[in-house]
Amino acid sequence: LATPPSYYDDIIAHLGAVDLARRQDIYTRDPGGWHRIVVEKPFGRDVLSARELNRAVASVFSERQIYRIDHYLGKETVQNVLAFRFANVLFEPVWNRHYVDHVQITVAESLGVEGRGKYYEESGALRDMVQSHILQLLCVMAMEPPAHFDGNSLRDEKVKVLRSVAPPINPNDITARTVRGQYADGFVAGQQARAYRAEKDVNPTSRTETY
């Protein structure tokens, strides 16, 4: 679904209404044709909306037809982390808590919102980057070696990481343990960059975080 997330529910409902998820393949006329749906992040705005979206998709497509993806995992650098970790005889033996003091994940971008002001106003950096891309990077960095290098095995090891991380931050501790900010005007690589609030489709008094 290469569309704004706000349209997901309606699109899925219409796909179900015309039986597109289970209709025979229009090219081969094979009744067991290949039908899949790819849903890009963000998968909902919060837990409740994510569960509702999951229910909507599952009401039309079977689990084997659903691909919930994060395009960040397709980046060559991210994919190379797995090879760097598990195919490197120098690093794999010392990639553990006995030798690693801490891990710092830095996602340094030189681009701005690039005309995505309306989308960013709804998501912000936390939904756009942290709970998706950065969380996936955390899993790739911390996961145990999978039994097999296939999608299911990698997913299972990532789930183990997520279940072992520290519990959610207490709402009373958020300001003490996190920092949210918003870019003003400045310079990037020697070029002048406008403030976030000056971007198209952005509220001039916006409090949406950009980092």
| CA–CA distance, 78 with 141 (Å, rounded to integer) | 10
If residue 161 lies in a helix (H) or strand (E), which one and from where to where?
helix 151-164
**Does residue 21 contact residue 49 with C-beta atoms inside 8 Å?**
no
**Greatest distance between any 2 Cα atoms in the chain:** 60
Judged by DSSP in three states, 65 sits in: helix
Selecting among 35, 98, 133, 148, the annotated active-site residue is: 133
Q: Which of 72, 68, 57 is nearest to 8 (CA)?
A: 57
Beta bridge partners of 37: 66
CA torsion, ordered 82, 87, 93, 98, to nearest 10 deg: -10
Scanning the structure block, which residue is given the tokens 């797995």?
82
Confirm whether 35 is a catalytic residue.
no
Distance of CA 95 to the CA centre of its chain: 25
HSE-up (13 A, CA, CB side) for residue 60: 23
Which residues are catalytic, by number?
Answer: 133
